[in-house]
Amino acid sequence: MPRHGSVARCPRQAQGTRTPCRLCGAAAILGAKASSPLALSEAEQTLVLQALCSERFCDTAPAAVHATLLDEGTYLGSVRTMYRLLAANASSAERRRQRSHSAYAKPELLALAPNQVWSWDITKLKGPVKWTCFHLYVILDIFSRYVVGWLIAPSESAELAQQLIADTVSRHDVMPGALTLHADRGTSMRSKPVASLLVDLDVAKSHSRPYTSDDNPYSESHFKTMKYRPDFPQRFSSIEDARCHCQTFFAWYNAQHYHSGIGHMTPHSVHFGQAQAMREVRQATLNAAFSATPNRFKGIRPCLKPMPTAAWINPPPAQRKPAETEQPCTVNL
């Protein structure tokens, strides 16, 4: 005879057969689970709740209430029972004042041409001995990936950041109101000198959300490109050594590095409008190769992949690109 609350099983299932018996059909539930004889009665539960919700104990933890009542010679129930009853009556919650975190909006920035959105950040370069480092400031155009300004200093300083931003904006003739400067929430990035300068230059400022490196992807990716180069040293013997290395790297990066994010063009060619002429030369080379040996291309004329027309930081869902499907250029032979 099965126990209360169990499921009736046929003899075949009792012998270990997992397949339900076709003769018996679906299993039948014999009855609901009976209440435990150890449970408090409804009157006792009401008494516990009245004590916990009374003016005397309304701000006291159940463990403290339990101890207080024991000292007075009264036992209403276990601490676990008190918590269970409070939860069943939606009376169990955090009663202490909790710190409220500010809601930070996700930055959504769009650049359709150079000098519309710049991203800047500071990274550390290891010094000659342990616990020493130099600070590298870099400003990057997110559309062209061109490094528009950089400096290296022994320490991080809001005044140095202010000077770098002012010199870079002046050198590139940025029109007032046309530029947005994006950064993370570092000390220098949120400093008053930098904020005042951006107001004077009519440059909009934007910041990442706290602890969200994805909000500043261009600067993070650029630093990885620099530090993963084969010639990047483990340490720099002096700040002059670090500055010399950065001069060589940024010259290579801007003028010679074929960046996959901009159609394998150099940042310099995209920033200064030379990319289209370079694409025409590349396409002419592909056309000549196709004309010489069309069979090698199976009769399909090779075409360059289109260059990106926009650079986003956190694009809205409607702007996220689906998986690219390559559309070949065909020609009638």
Same domain, 119 and 239: yes
Q: What is the CATH number of the domain that holds 243?
A: 3.30.420.10
Rounded Cα distance, 242 and 211, in Å: 28
Residue 15 has pLDDT above 60, yes or no: no
Same domain, 60 and 159: no
Residue 234: inside a domain, yes or no?
yes
pLDDT the model gives residue 28: 37
Quickly list DSSP for 285-325.
HHHHHHHH-GGGGTTEE--PPPPPS-EEES--GGG------
Helix then strand then coil, in percent of the chain rounded to 5, is: 35, 15, 50
Domain-terminating residue out of 268, 293, 325 = 268
Query: Which residues share a beta bridge with 140?
Result: 119, 147
Residue 305: inside a domain, yes or no?
no
Residue-range definition of the domain harbouring residue 55: 38-92
Q: How confident is the model at residue 105 (pLDDT cuts 50, 70, 90)?
A: confident
Residue 27: inside a domain, yes or no?
no
**Of residues 256 and 26, which shows the higher confidence score?**
256
Same domain, 121 and 248: yes
Residue 56: inside a domain, yes or no?
yes
Around Cβ 329, how many Cβ atoms within 10 Å? Answer: 13
pLDDT the model gives residue 93: 75
Instruction: Report which secondary-structure segment, H or E, holds 330.
Output: strand 329-330
Question: If you average pLDDT over every residue of the chain, what do you get?
Answer: 86
Cβ atoms 222, 122 nearer than 8 A:
no
Number of domains in the chain: 2
Residue 75: inside a domain, yes or no?
yes
pLDDT the model gives residue 91: 81
Around Cβ 60, how many Cβ atoms within 10 Å? Answer: 15
Same domain, 232 and 115: yes
Same domain, 134 and 264: yes
Same domain, 183 and 225: yes
pLDDT the model gives residue 211: 87
Residue 195: inside a domain, yes or no?
yes
Q: Please state the rounded mean pLDDT for residues 204-214.
A: 91
Tell me if residue 30 falls in helix, strand or coil: coil
Q: What's the token pair of residue 103?
A: 């809601």
pLDDT the model gives residue 102: 78
Rounded Cα distance, 181 and 179, in Å: 7
Cβ atoms 195, 203 nearer than 8 A:
no
Same domain, 123 and 224: yes
Same domain, 233 and 185: yes
Identify which of 152, 163, 147 has the alpha carbon closest to the alpha carbon of residue 126: 152
Same domain, 180 and 79: no
Residue 329 has pLDDT above 60, yes or no: no
pLDDT the model gives residue 9: 39
Percent of the chain with pLDDT over 70: 85
Same domain, 71 and 192: no
Rounded Cα distance, 5 and 83, in Å: 26
The count of C-alpha atoms lying within 13 angstroms of the C-alpha of 276, restricted to the half-sphere facing its C-beta, is 3
Domain-terminating residue out of 214, 249, 268 = 268
* Phi (first) and psi of residue 6, to 5 degrees: -90, 175
pLDDT the model gives residue 150: 97
**Of residues 28 and 285, which shows the higher confidence score?**
285
Cβ atoms 314, 110 nearer than 8 A:
no
Quickly list DSSP for 119-178.
EEEEEEEE-SSTT-EEEEEEEEETTT--EEEEEEESS--HHHHHHHHHHHHHHTTPPTTS
Instruction: Classify residue 262 by burial, with Cβ atoms within 10 Å: 0-12, 13-18, 19+.
Output: buried
Same domain, 246 and 208: yes
Rounded Cα distance, 251 and 268, in Å: 10
Instruction: Classify residue 281 by burial, with Cβ atoms within 10 Å: 0-12, 13-18, 19+.
Output: exposed
Residue 159: inside a domain, yes or no?
yes
**Of residues 331 and 151, which shows the higher confidence score?**
151
pLDDT-wise least confident of 94-98, 184-188, 197-201, 228-232: 94-98
Residue 15: inside a domain, yes or no?
no
Domain-terminating residue out of 268, 290, 320 = 268
